[in-house]
Amino acid sequence: MIKRLLIANRGEIAVRIIRTCKEMGIETVAVYSTADREGLHVRLADKAVCIGPPPSAQSYLLGNNLIMAAIHTDCDAVHPGVGFLAENAGFARLVRDTGLGFIGPDPRLLELLGDKVQARTTAQRFGLPITPGTPTAVEDAAHAQEAVGALGFPVIIKAAAGGGGKGMRVVQAEQELPEQMAIAQAEAASNFGDPRVFIERYLENPRHVELQILAAGEVAVLGERDCSVQKNHQKLIEESPSPGVREAMRNRMAQGAVRLFQGLDYRGAGTIEFLVDREEFYFMEVNARLQVEHPVSECITGTDIVREQILACTEGRMDIDPQAVRLQGWAMECRINALSPGRVTELQVPGGPGVRFDTCLYPGCMVPPYYDALVGKLIVHAPNREQVLARMDRALAELHIRGIPTNQGEQGRILNESRFRSGSFGTAYYAERETRLLKETNHVR
């Protein structure tokens, strides 16, 4: 068992990891930029090291600074959290070459799965269906037009070296292709340092469904999560199980996931993501790390995913039995995002049965303008979806954050819309909702 762990991240996810480490008897070292010196993760960790000024490129993305902080504080391993360098193969390799443990898969797998083109090819090799698309990266508009000729419109351009909605552009017609290609390449270069993109046939309104995986020799599947409610490809609400996946499809997805992760000899936590179009599903990508929405799967399985991830990556074992995983009830998560920076003046956290609020906020804390807008995750668990909806509605009403504006009100409105409550929606739901609300507003005027 490792004795001291450096958490190479910030905010809510760093707080989440610290809490599990305390229960495991592992000391923690937080890192922070000067903008995060008041951060809750800094307060909760056993030690904290400043790694640079506010911009991520000068702090949280400087791998050498993170490793020096780990060495200086006598850490045994590094946990990358989510985002930043969590899926950076170069950073993982540097961590291991320094003699530290890395809480994540082998760097060679980060390279393989981080390249979305290679990942698609690998998934095919293990019998997983993929959407029609280019077998290699597309270099320029001429190459793109040639590829689209075989696929037909609409298509989606995606960054080959990243995800999270960055470097993604939907193209409905040929005349849009050159401009959207240039924008996607620029976004890919800016966000991932790699301008390569590839093209897939665009599914108009699929469900976005992902399976939570834990692996250490054997592979455990902790059910699926539905992440179809998205704004600009950024997830807003996640739930498990998916209201749009039948048992037969659930089993086929799980079998494919086990084949892939066992075939790759994967270690740690990961997620395999699919697009579901009526009765078919298609491999999209693997996130070779912890996911923001992992608490949803923790609720329905009673598993501490961070604990199992640490055990798998440091001791090559897990406490859970992959054959004994049982899904209990329904869980849902609403992401609470800050709409602008500022100082929190008041915080009232909801409670009661089946309610959990993972956050980095506290009264008096400063939310800086430099990083991801996520400041909290409201998670509820109940026996069925109807009760989860009622519980989430109640918990959202109890949550009070003063001093900064958040999307809490919008989350409550979505929760009470008939379309969402029906469970019959796909990834186009949010955009269609925005269009409808705009028309209603214009009609009133």
Does residue 288 contact residue 109 with C-beta atoms inside 8 Å?
A: yes
Please pick, among 16, 120, 289, 391, the residue that the annotation labels catalytic. 289
How far apart are alpha carbons 161 and 118 in whole angstroms?
10
Does residue 310 contact residue 103 with C-beta atoms inside 8 Å?
A: yes
Q: Is 289 a catalytic residue?
A: yes
Does residue 119 contact residue 285 with C-beta atoms inside 8 Å?
A: yes
Known catalytic residues are 289
